[in-house]
Amino acid sequence: MANALITGITGQDGAYLSQLLLEKGYTVHGLLRRSASADVIGERLRWIGVLDRVTLHDGDLMDLSSIIRIIDRVQPVEVYNLAAQSFVHASWQQPILTGNVTGMGAVNVLEAVRIVAPRARFYQASSSEMFGKIQEAKQSERTPFYPRSPYAAAKLYAHWMTVNYRESFGMHASSGILFNHESPLRGIEFVTRKITDGVARIKLGLASELTLGNLDATRDWGHARDYVQAMWAMLQQDTPDDYVIATGRTVSIRDFCAIAFGYAGLDWQAHVRTSAAFMRPAEVEVLLGDAGKARAKLGWAATTTLEELAAEMVEADLVRHRAARG
């Protein structure tokens, strides 16, 4: 069986990608940053039933020696770099950490692969946030970047370094410019999960209000389970390249609230409040992806509708809160 290594394996995408690779017969290894909360750090992997089927290795993106050691031990045929400080709002409070982990961390992984396993295929998790202050109504691989946060700037550095390693060293290195992708495994700090968790709390009588920031920002939201399929498909191509992965549909946070609350039979306007505390210093108002290249070359398309995604997330949060309540 082929070995695959995933950084960020304990995150949303890492969990779904682990599940996919296991189904395809890979032996899955993951980079795990040691912390005092190690007993709960694998909850996403446990949630989808794969925690006991993956091998976790202690390491850190900021410690090149640890990455080299792990890659040398695992000898992966595919390396997926999903690890990052990925919460945009937090990147304004921790810009240096975000630059180090999200930007330089990716280069550490690229360098380790180049040194120890140069024939391995490499995937970099790029982000639609790199488009920022959009230069075209619909963003494709040809759209100029204009990052609007420390997170987006760090991702852009990692993205261009992936291109440079591909062109300079002949590495099979590809980037997926993924638009927003959500699931029941999404972190509670992200707006979609904050909304569905709020819906569940309000439905069960555990809360009466939900406070959000800018309701007018619009995003192209898909399901993470669909998007990891695209990650894998990129590394099966003969030639490495960069691909936009998106649904081609954008809705506002206001509309997402209406969908999620409506699924639970609630009127969102009776419960949602706004606060300036949740506003970004520089907002990305609209993101809408053109995944035509991925459809043509990878045969990929999103299969989960936004309504199905919201329903799955609300149901999962209802289950969580009912279980916690006993």
Q: What angle do CA 317, 226, 15 make, to 5 degrees?
A: 60
Q: Give the separation between CA 279 and CA 50, rounded to whole angstroms.
A: 36
Number of domains present in the structure of the chain: 2
Q: Give the separation between CA 224 and CA 204, rounded to whole angstroms.
A: 27
pLDDT computed for residue 282 by the predictor: 67
Does 298 map to a domain?
A: no
Residue 205, domain CATH: 3.90.25.10
Residue 236, domain CATH: 3.40.50.720
pLDDT computed for residue 218 by the predictor: 94
Q: Alpha helix (H) ranges present in the chain?
A: 12-23, 43-47, 64-74, 88-93, 95-98, 105-116, 150-169, 191-203, 224-234, 253-263, 292-298, 306-325
Phi, psi values for residue 132, rounded to 5°: 50, -115
DSSP codes, 4-73 = EEEETTTSHHHHHHHHHHHHTT-EEEEEE---TTTTTTTHHHHHTT-GGGSEEEE--TT-HHHHHHHHHH
Contact status, residue 233 vs residue 293, Cβ threshold 8 Å: no
Q: Are 131 and 207 in a shared domain?
A: no
pLDDT computed for residue 277 by the predictor: 81
Q: Is the dihedral of CA 113, 232, 8, 81 positive or negative?
A: positive
Q: Give the separation between CA 91 and CA 97, rounded to whole angstroms.
A: 8
Beta bridge partners of residue 28, listed in sequence order: 4
Contact status, residue 116 vs residue 73, Cβ threshold 8 Å: no
Q: Are 84 and 227 in a shared domain?
A: yes
pLDDT computed for residue 293 by the predictor: 98
User: 310: domain range?
Assistant: 186-219+249-286+304-325
pLDDT computed for residue 89 by the predictor: 78
pLDDT computed for residue 40 by the predictor: 64
Beta bridge partners of residue 5, listed in sequence order: 29, 79
pLDDT computed for residue 19 by the predictor: 98
Along the chain (326 residues), what's the average pLDDT of each consecutive run of 10 residues? 95 97 98 68 91 95 96 98 84 90 97 97 97 94 95 96 98 97 93 97 96 94 98 98 98 97 97 85 83 98 97 97 86
Q: Are 87 and 229 in a shared domain?
A: yes
pLDDT computed for residue 1 by the predictor: 80
Q: Are 159 and 56 in a shared domain?
A: yes
Tokens of 289: 């992806």
Q: Are 97 and 191 in a shared domain?
A: no
pLDDT computed for residue 35 by the predictor: 62
Q: Are 57 and 152 in a shared domain?
A: yes
Q: Are 87 and 194 in a shared domain?
A: no
Does 129 map to a domain?
A: yes
